[in-house]
Amino acid sequence: MRGAGVRGAARERRAGRSPAPRAGCAAAGKRAARLCCALLLIASPRVQAAAVDAGPGDALARIAALVADPRLGGARVGLLAIDLGSGRILAQHAADRSLLVASTAKLITAAAALELLGGHYRLRTEVFSAGPAPLRGGVLAGDLYLKGHGDPSLDDADLWRLARRLRELGLRRVRGALVLDESYFVGPRLPPLYDTRDTDAFYRPATGALSLHDNVVTIGVRPSVVGQPVIVTLIPPSAYLRLDNSALTVGPPQRSALNLSTEAVGDRTIVHVRGTLRAGASAVWDRRRIEDPGLFVGLTFRELLEREGIRFGRRALRRQALPPQARRLLSHRSEPLVELIRRMNKQSSNVIAEQLVRVLGAEATGAPGSWAAGLAVLERWLASAGLRPGSYQLKNGSGLYEAAVFTPRQIVAVLTRSWRDFRCGPELVSSLAIAGADGTLAQRLAGGTAARYVRGKTGTLAEVVALSGYGGLASGGAPIAFSIIFNGLPIERVRAARRVADALAETLLEAQRSALGAHKP
C-alpha cells in the first residue's frame, strides 16, 4: 500500500482542465526552431554571442528543444533563469505566464518566515498549573493546562519528556482535569482550499495550535499466521485512535490486497484496516490524516502522564484559554525554525507550511493566528519583493490544490530577494532539496553534471510539474535562480515531464557556463 504517489495524488489533486492537444515530432521540431530564435533574442548581447559561437548544439538550442519536447504533450510551459550576479537573463519562455506552481509555493512561505521570524525562532509548548495553591505534597489542587503555539514538529517523545519532568517535579495527582489551550490559533482547522477533496490522505492534514506527529497516524501492518488477523501498529499509540482491524493473513494462491483508511467518528479517529496480507510478506507502512489535532495531543499526553503515575480527579478533557493566575511549570521548545523549514522544503511538508502561515499571522498581529492574518503577512512580504497584489494568487501556504498561481518571473523574484538578504538567504538555500542527494530530488539529476549543483523545490499536482531554485557551478562564479513550470500535462506524462524539467535545469547550468566563458578576457 503506497501513500500519495504520483498517480494516487493525481487523482486527489486534479487541476480540472482538459489537456492540450499533443504535438507531433515534426511540429515539435519546427516549434523548437522558433523557440530557439526567441531564446536567443531575449539574451543579453554577450550571451547571444556565446550561443552563436557555440553552433547549433549550444545550450539555448537545447533549451528550446526541451520546451517543445513532445513528452510534454502540448503542456503550457513557463521558464526563466537569471544570473544572480549580474541580473542578466540567461533564458526565458513565457516568463510572465500565470501558472499553477503547486508545492513550489512553499518557497514563499519559507522565505517570508525566515526573514520575518528569523532562523533561530522556536515554537513553544507549555504546561501550566491553575488552582488556589501551588503543588503541595505531590497534589495539584486545580487543573493542569497544556498550551500550544503551533509547533508542527511536536511528537510523542516530546510529550513523554514533559510527562517525565512533571513526575520529577513531584506531581502525582491532579484534582482537576487536563485542559487544552489552543487559543494561539483561531478559525477552521483545515487550510483554505483543503476542502476541495474529502480524502484521508496524509498530505491534507488538519492544523492546530496543539499538533502532534504531523497530524497523521502512521499505520504499520505485518502478517501473522494464515487465517489470523494481521498485526497492526499505530504510531503514535494514543487513546484518541480506535482500531478497526478486519484484515486477514492469507496463504497462496491468494494475494495481498490491503486497504488502510481513517475516519472521524464522534470525537475520535477510527483506523480501518481491511483486506488481506500474504503470509511472509514484508510489513506495509502508510500514513493517514487525523481529524482533531488538539484532542490527539490531549489524549496522548494524558495517557503518558498516567503511565508516569500521575492521576486526574476529572477524566474529561476541556478546551479553555489559560486563566490569569496560571503558573508556568514547564516549557518545550521546538528545534530552530531553520530546521523546520529544511524539513518542509526537502520533504515538501504541507503541515509545516500551513502551521507557519498561522504562526506568521499571530506574530504579526499579536492576536490569535488566523488564515486571513497569515496570508496578509505573505501578501505584504510579496509586495516588498516587487509582486503587485492581484497579479498572483496565494490561498494557502503549501500550494495544495489550485491555491498558488504565479509567473516564473515572480518565483525568480522571490528567489532573488532571499538570495540577496544575508539574514535569511543562506538558510533558504540550505533548506532546498539537493539534486541527486536528498529530499524530493534524491533520485533526480543524479547522474549528470547538475548533481549536487542544483538546489530546488519541486511541485507536483495532477497536471502540474514545477521545479524552481538555484544552480551553481564547480568553477565558481555567480549561481543562477530559475523557475520551470509545466501546466496542463496529460496525467500519463507527469513522470516524463519531470525528466524534461531536470534536463532543462541541467541545460540552464550549461548556458551559465557558456555565458561565463564568453566573458573571460
Which of 280, 309, 334 represents a domain boundary (last residue)? 334
Q: Is residue 296 part of a domain?
A: yes
Q: What is the pLDDT of residue 129?
A: 95
User: Residue 346 belongs to what H/E stretch?
Assistant: helix 337-347
Selected residue with higher pLDDT from 31 and 113:
113
For residue 85, the one-letter residue type is G
- 97 with 190, same domain: the answer is no
- 46 with 165, same domain: the answer is no
pLDDT digits (tens, 9 = 90+) for 471-480: 998 777 789 9
* Closest of 393, 473, 457, 416 to residue 100, by C-alpha: 393
Size of the chain in residues: 521
Outline where DSSP puts E strands in 236-392. 241-245, 248-250, 257-265, 268-278, 284-289, 311-312, 318-319, 327-333
- Average pLDDT, stretch 305-329? 94
CA-CA distance, 29 to 35, in Å (whole number)?
10
State in Å, rounded, how far the first CA of the chain is from the last one. 59
* Closest of 319, 349, 372 to residue 187, by C-alpha: 372
CA-CA distance, 407 to 100, in Å (whole number)?
8
Domain CATH number, residue 82: 3.40.710.10
pLDDT digits (tens, 9 = 90+) for 350-367: 999 999 999 999 999 999
Outline where DSSP puts E strands in 84-165. 89-93, 99-100, 124-130, 139-140, 143-148
- DSSP assignments along 370-411, one per residue: -HHHHHHHHHHHHHHTTPPTTSSEE-SSS--TT-EEE-HHHH
- 481 with 414, same domain: the answer is yes
pLDDT digits (tens, 9 = 90+) for 59-83: 889 999 999 999 999 999 999 999 9
CA-CA distance, 447 to 31, in Å (whole number)?
29
Task: Say which range, 47-51, 149-153, 265-269, 462-466, has the weakest mean pLDDT.
Answer: 47-51
- 30 with 147, same domain: the answer is no
- 140 with 285, same domain: the answer is yes
Q: What is the pLDDT of residue 131?
A: 73
> Looking up cell 493566528, which residue turns up?
369
pLDDT digits (tens, 9 = 90+) for 164-188: 999 999 999 999 999 999 999 999 9
Q: Which residues contact 261 (CB under 8 A, 6 or more apart)?
A: 200, 271, 272, 274, 288
- 157 with 266, same domain: the answer is yes
Q: Is residue 75 part of a domain?
A: yes
pLDDT at 96 over 90: yes
Q: Is residue 117 part of a domain?
A: no
CB neighbour class for 521 (10 Å; exposed up to 12, middle 13-18, buried from 19): exposed
Q: What is the pLDDT of residue 245?
A: 98
- 58 with 139, same domain: the answer is no
Question: Which pairs from 251-260 meet CB under 8 Å and 24+ separation?
Answer: 251/226, 251/278, 251/279, 252/278, 254/278, 256/281, 256/284, 258/1, 258/221, 258/230, 258/284, 259/1, 260/1, 260/219, 260/221, 260/284, 260/286, 260/288
- 48 with 88, same domain: the answer is yes
pLDDT at 376 over 60: yes
- 134 with 263, same domain: the answer is yes
pLDDT at 191 over 60: yes
Q: Is residue 51 part of a domain?
A: yes
> In this structure, what DSSP letter does residue 188 have?
-
Provide the number of structural domains found in the chain.
Answer: 2
328 HSE (CA, 13 A, CB side): 8
* Cell numbers linked to 109: 512561505
Residue burial 160-173, b: 16+ Cβ < 10 Å; e: rest: bebbeebeeeebee
Provide the β-strand partners of residue 333.
124
Domain CATH number, residue 148: 3.50.80.20
Q: Is residue 32 part of a domain?
A: yes
Q: What is the pLDDT of residue 66?
A: 96
Which of 298, 315, 334 represents a domain boundary (last residue)? 334
Phi and psi, residue 278, nearest 5°: -70, 140
* Closest of 196, 75, 107, 195 to residue 464, by C-alpha: 75
User: In the chain, pLDDT over 70 holds for what percent of residues?
Assistant: 88
- 327 with 186, same domain: the answer is yes
Predicted confidence band of residue 401 (pLDDT cuts 50, 70, 90): very high
Q: What is the pLDDT of residue 518?
A: 55
User: In the chain, pLDDT over 90 holds for what percent of residues?
Assistant: 82
- What three-state secondary structure class fits 520? coil
pLDDT digits (tens, 9 = 90+) for 130-140: 876 777 889 99
CB neighbour class for 207 (10 Å; exposed up to 12, middle 13-18, buried from 19): buried
CA-CA distance, 344 to 196, in Å (whole number)?
22
CA-CA distance, 236 to 155, in Å (whole number)?
8
Q: What is the pLDDT of residue 513?
A: 84
- What three-state secondary structure class fits 269? strand
CB neighbour class for 21 (10 Å; exposed up to 12, middle 13-18, buried from 19): exposed
Q: Is residue 48 part of a domain?
A: yes
CA-CA distance, 129 to 328, in Å (whole number)?
6
Q: Is residue 436 part of a domain?
A: yes
- What three-state secondary structure class fits 484? strand
- 172 with 281, same domain: the answer is yes
* Cell numbers linked to 352: 509545516
> In this structure, what DSSP letter does residue 322 have?
P
- 324 with 467, same domain: the answer is no
Instruction: Give the structural domain span for 61.
Output: 6-104+396-518
Predicted confidence band of residue 517 (pLDDT cuts 50, 70, 90): low
**Average model confidence (pLDDT) for the chain?**
89
Q: Which residues contact 176 (CB under 8 A, 6 or more apart)?
A: 130, 131, 140, 141, 142, 143, 144, 312, 313, 314
Which of 319, 334, 349 represents a domain boundary (last residue)? 334
Q: Is residue 284 part of a domain?
A: yes
**Helices 337-347 and 106-117: crossing angle, nearest 10°?**
170
